[in-house]
Structure 1
Amino acid sequence: MARKLQLVLMVFMVLSIVVIFNEYFIYYIALWSCSFPSIVDPSDENIVKAIVLADPHLLGERRGAWIDRLRREWQMERTFQTAMSLLEPDVVFIVGDVMDEGFEASEEDFKFAFERYSRIFRRPGDTPLLLVAGNHDIGFHYSVTESNVQRFEEAFKTSSVKVVSIRNIPFVLLNSVGLTSDGCWLCSAMDAKLKESALALRRCSPDVPSEACIQQPVPGIRPILLQHYPLYRSSDLLCHGDDLAPNIGNQQEFRESWEVISKEATETVLSYFQPRLAFSGHTHHGCNIMHHLGTPFPTEEQTIASFSWRNRNDPNFILLTASTKDYSLDKCSPPSESLVLASYLLTILATVAFLAWPQCSRRWYGSRRVGDAWAQPQWSDYNFHWKNRKGT
């Protein structure tokens, strides 16, 4: 009995160690190699180090079982908290789809989702977290309601157009759901705010007409743009990167205002703000592409893969180092789902083999009972059996 209890305790200890490793320490090991990229002039005092992620998709009550929600949120929480501890960013950006069912959530469900968001993405000290709305947060363009937009903006302290300056570097955050210019209530409000923000960036003198002012180049530092929908591209065939969408060759062309914002909206945004860099999400896959629409100034866009293991086997997030003159990007990857599952599977197989070994070895070698232990057979035993077979 004592031997069986000792065996049970040993197995429990091994499994506990594996669980703690896979659910806690593995995140430190995976993110330990991540670091903010360097820039050309590190002596610049105005340097911002930011974590940029996309599409967490916190599950609601309608889609996904509670165990799925618990698992995905634990993975995101451990990854985010480990990244905050190891990397210590100046600011965090989330480019939309914080929630999976925000657009159809009741007040109670929305409050519950916001509480979980606050726990998962808590930050030490006064590190700011800025985000934009996605279609799963407030609805697609055709179904978005004023109450959904107001609820989201009040809870997450954001707006449809927001320009912030961090260490003299301007960041433009847009609610790209309203970038359709078709006269809808959200789109009309967005058009007016876009123009107002673009004029504020240029700081023209009062005697310069607004239409002439908005055609001028953005003085000083070109901003960094963040929105949920990608800027217009026909498909991912034009993309670069190592986390692209699968089967790109069979991919159909993107629909404007569904997978990407329209070409007209892209030209408007790029001409108004002339960003040097843009971040987006929505597709759940990575894409790096250069844009030249509507402006003589090229804009590099980085579409970020989803931060949720429910959407990808290998989520990731972007590390941005930006100064007034330069910027640099790098990708940081937490442990993949397949790696964690393989670790658990190997542990289970090793445990089963360990438990089955005494029984198998006894049958194979013909072990015999000696006291409370199994003794291995002696050479004389094999010799005896061999003689008996020979009939001697």
Structure 2
Amino acid sequence: MLRRHPALAPSSQLTDYLLTTRTLQYIVVGLSFFVVVPLVTYTFYYPSFHSDICSWPSASRSPRDLRLLLFGDPQIRGADKSSSLRTRLDIFGNDHYLGHIYSTLLPRLRPSHVIVVGDLFSSQWISDEEFDLRTRRYKNRIFRHPSLYDTPTPVFLNLSGNHDIGYAHDVTDSRVRRFEKHFGQLNFVVTGDDFRIIGFNSMSLDGSLDDDDKGQASFTRDVRNFLEEQMKVNFIGTTILATHVPLHKQGGICIDQPYFTYYGEKSEQLIREQNMLSEESSQWLLNGFFGEGRARHGVIINGHDHDGCLVRHTMVKGEPRWNVAAIATGDTRYQYDYDNSDSSGVLEVTVRSMMGEYGGNVGLLKGTWNAAREDYIFTFSLCPFGKQHIWWATYVIAIICACASVIAFIGLPFLDEKTRGVFITGTMKPPILNCDPISHKSRNTIPVSPPTSGRQTPVNFFFSGGKAQKID
């Protein structure tokens, strides 16, 4: 029977050691199987767990179908020299959390268009250097080029939000220039065979035309002139209006209530903050694009209200006025068909924010081409990933398990072999030894000798310092 030197590893300690090692190995295996595997599976395949709302409708597909991925208010933050390590780590993790949502859905859904409905960044007051830094993070960490995912390149559209260029009275030439340099024009139109997407600077729409002290009036004139030109176009297809600020609604329809604040007196219309467009501007947009004598079917998409909302605007018969009503969908897909009396009117989709605290949401807007009617039937669903804690937990626990696996299956056995000593088995008459367990040295040493004749007793030797010490 092999035994160890009592001063180094008594049998009870060795047993405890072996139990501790095996226990750690069992814990690592159990944690990996019951925690890491489910977390990793959900994190990278979460659309499969929500297949009813995280996929396009299974109806027949046509090359003319529209497949829009809508991202609301990422509002990525920044750090400076005074920021703590925790803040920097949180920003780093948040970038990759948002990027994970995009990179998971893009190759899976292969959209025709990707639209970020404004508030790309968290503040319009940042310097040009910080704006450039966040732009690089936005493009390199979050919304990376589709070629990296081996998927067809969609049309990628970025709308300006109040945290990108400011509300009406805060919009300046420098803020507009730096936004348009990296993300394209504030006011634009993308036209297809049977549809058009019109994006515009909704922050300046309600601005004052007399607000010339810093040039804000020019932006208000620009957006109004642009929209008037598009209203005059004799377009018979489907119009999709893309705006950051939602249209006006009475209190209680959506989470956000009507809210407006101004610089100075209200009569000056120097807007400081607004939750939605004014009722006057909202009615003007609805009549101009969907009123009498125009194509009365289309969709309006926007963000700003982080909780999201889904409503339907219907025109009052015989009047150039529109009513609005909420659509209760729960966690299901909603189908909008303007020829159906239950869903007639204009659909307005306010996309719930993709920020972690709101659940990492993405809007899926599908326009299915109806060849018989030569127009689109739209469906919308909201696909949530979950709070950012899921992403953090997946990576942190996976790293811990990986480190624990190295220790349990490689490190501890390796250390055991190094500290166990070298044992041999021999036979000889047992002499009396005086061992000092404190100093770990034997006061009696014996040389290794051949077995003697007569009765032989098995003994063990521990080699130390070139001498063989008998182990009792």
The TM-score normalised by the length of structure 1 is 0.71
2:253 to 232, 238, 248: 238
Any residues of structure 2 matched to 1:124-143 within 5 Å, and which? 124=147, 125-143=152-170
Counterpart AA for 1:109: E
Contact 1:48 1:166 in 2 (8 A): no
* Number of the residue aligned with 2:135: 114
Change (3 A) 1:288 1:67: same
How far the C-alpha of 1:3 sits from its partner, in A, is 5.4
Change (3 A) 1:87 1:252: closer
- What secondary structure, in the 3-state scheme, does the structure 2 residue paired with 1:118 have? helix
Contact 2:245 2:302 in 1 (8 A): yes
How far the C-alpha of 1:14 sits from its partner, in A, is 6.0
* 1:59 maps to 2:70: no
Change (3 A) 1:167 1:320: farther
Give the total of aligned pairs: 314
* Number of the residue aligned with 1:368: none
How far the C-alpha of 1:38 sits from its partner, in A, is 5.2
Distance 2:229 2:288 in 1: 10
Counterpart AA for 1:54: G
Counterpart AA for 1:328: T
* 1:259 maps to 2:264: no
* Number of the residue aligned with 1:333: 384
- What secondary structure, in the 3-state scheme, does the structure 1 residue paired with 2:363 have? strand
Contact 1:51 1:319 in 2 (8 A): yes
Change (3 A) 1:142 1:47: same
1:173 to 196, 199, 220: 199
How far the C-alpha of 1:117 sits from its partner, in A, is 0.9
How far the C-alpha of 1:231 sits from its partner, in A, is 0.5
* 1:48 maps to 2:53: no
Distance 2:230 2:257 in 1: 35
Higher mean displacement: 81-90 or 336-345: 336-345
* 1:317 maps to 2:362: yes
Q: Deviations over 1:126-175 (max 9, x none)?
A: 2221121000111122211111011101201x222211024532111111
* Number of the residue aligned with 1:155: 182
Change (3 A) 1:151 1:15: farther
Change (3 A) 1:268 1:160: farther
Counterpart AA for 2:230: S
1:97 to 119, 122, 139: 119
* Number of the residue aligned with 1:358: none
Change (3 A) 1:131 1:6: same
How far the C-alpha of 1:113 sits from its partner, in A, is 0.7
* 1:36 maps to 2:51: no
Change (3 A) 1:198 1:340: same
* Number of the residue aligned with 1:214: none
Distance 2:395 2:96 in 1: 17
- What secondary structure, in the 3-state scheme, does the structure 2 residue paired with 1:321 have? strand
Q: Deviations over 1:240-263 (max 9, x none)?
A: xxxxx4xxxxx7543386000111
* Number of the residue aligned with 1:69: 91
* Number of the residue aligned with 1:144: 171
Distance 1:9 1:70 in 2: 32
Distance 2:18 2:45 in 1: 38
User: Which protein has the bigger strand share?
Assistant: 2
How far the C-alpha of 1:21 sits from its partner, in A, is 5.6
Change (3 A) 1:193 1:10: same
Q: Deviations over 1:83-140 (max 9, x none)?
A: 0121111111110011112x12222211111111112112234222112100011112
Distance 2:77 2:31 in 1: 29
- What secondary structure, in the 3-state scheme, does the structure 1 residue paired with 2:238 have? coil
* Number of the residue aligned with 2:264: none
Distance 1:92 1:128 in 2: 6
Any residues of structure 2 matched to 1:197-212 within 5 Å, and which? 197-199=230-232, 201-202=233-234
Distance 2:360 2:250 in 1: 24
Change (3 A) 1:332 1:7: same
How far the C-alpha of 1:44 sits from its partner, in A, is 5.2
Q: Deviations over 1:192-226 (max 9, x none)?
A: 11112222x32xxxxxxxxxxxxxxxx42130111
Distance 2:310 2:239 in 1: 18
User: Which protein has the bigger helix share?
Assistant: 1
Counterpart AA for 1:334: F
How far the C-alpha of 1:230 sits from its partner, in A, is 0.4
Distance 1:36 1:272 in 2: 31
Distance 2:299 2:125 in 1: 32
Change (3 A) 1:227 1:143: same
Distance 2:72 2:25 in 1: 43
Change (3 A) 1:345 1:190: closer
Counterpart AA for 2:177: Q
Contact 1:92 1:128 in 2 (8 A): yes
Change (3 A) 1:126 1:346: closer
Contact 1:170 1:223 in 2 (8 A): yes
Any residues of structure 2 matched to 1:182-201 within 5 Å, and which? 182-183=208-209, 184-199=217-232, 201=233
* Number of the residue aligned with 1:280: 302
Q: Deviations over 1:3-45 (max 9, x none)?
A: 54555566566667756764x5323332122211356xx4654
Distance 1:20 1:154 in 2: 43
Higher mean displacement: 68-77 or 268-277: 268-277
* Number of the residue aligned with 1:357: none
Distance 2:108 2:287 in 1: 38
* 1:27 maps to 2:43: yes
Distance 2:200 2:185 in 1: 8
Higher mean displacement: 251-260 or 172-181: 251-260
Counterpart AA for 2:66: V
